[in-house]
Structure 1
Amino acid sequence: MLIFGEPYEASNGMVIITVSRTGWGHRAERPVGIYTVGAEGVTWTPAVDASWHALIGVCTGFAAAVIGTIAVLRRPPWPEMTERVMTALAQARIAESRHR
């Protein structure tokens, strides 16, 4: 349910009306935004909960860090291609070409 606050007249002649939403159960009201009424017309300005946006950003970063860590720590399914292995493969190919 939306709750409209008492109209407040600012010093520049604009009238500001706050809008909030009741919480479920015993939760407090949450701001939704404000209506600004002036000579130019009525404008709606939504209230932005920056803490919610920050929480989503932190959770996304944490998930990316966990996935990256798992990808680095897990051994890949293909064979290990170190310098020693590559040298051994090259020597095996040279030896095989000599036997033909």
Structure 2
Amino acid sequence: MEIMEIRDAVERLRADSGTSMIFGEPHQTSDGSTIITVSRLHRQWRGDPIPVPVGVFSIHEGEPSWSPAVDHTRAALMGEFIGLAAAVIATLAVLRRPPWPDVTIRKG
């Protein structure tokens, strides 16, 4: 695949996507691969939109491949929320009926 064909393909993707995608300039590596970064604009509640990485197109020996950018922060945040929910549920269960022995004196 030639550089001009890659640029034409990127332009078609940009026109077809309908979203605010940002394609970086093609970079040639020392082994002959071509790398194109892809980002999208994330609109914040206030302020200017910021670019968020989506992935990378890499072309090596005429074979294109797509490598998505994985946000590990999102998975870590989900784990923290699950741990917090488990701690809250355990605390409520202990406060409702403590696991230690009942030491109240009953007449009867």
When normalised by structure 2's length, the TM-score is: 0.65
- The equivalent residue for 1:21 is 40
Residue 33 of structure 1 aligns with which residue? Answer: 55
CA distance in 2, matches of 1:18, 1:64: 40
- Displacement of 1:73 after TM fit? 1.8
SS in structure 2 at match of 1:59: helix
Which residue is equivalent to 1:87?
none
What is the CA distance between 1:49 and its match in structure 2? 1.3
Q: Does 1:53 align with 2:107?
A: no
1:39 is displaced (CA, Å) by 1.3
Structure 1 counterpart of 2:75, one-letter code? H
Secondary structure in 2 aligned to 1:12? coil
Give 5+ residue unaligned stretches, structure 2.
1-19, 103-108
Take 2:25 and 2:62, find their aligned partners in 1: how far apart are those partners?
A: 21
Consecutive unaligned residues in structure 1, runs of 5 or more = 83-100
1:44 pairs with 2:66: yes
**Counterpart Cα distance in 2 of 1:57 and 1:24:** 26
Summarize deviations over 1:54-76 as a string: whole Å, max 9, x none.
11111111111111111122128
Aligned residue type for 1:68: A
CA offsets per residue over residues 40-60 of structure 1, 9 Å max, x none? Answer: 611111111111221111111
Identity %: 47
Structure 1 residue runs of 4+, over 2 Å off? none
Equivalence for 2:13:
none
1:16 CA displacement: 0.5
Residue type of the alignment partner of 1:28? I
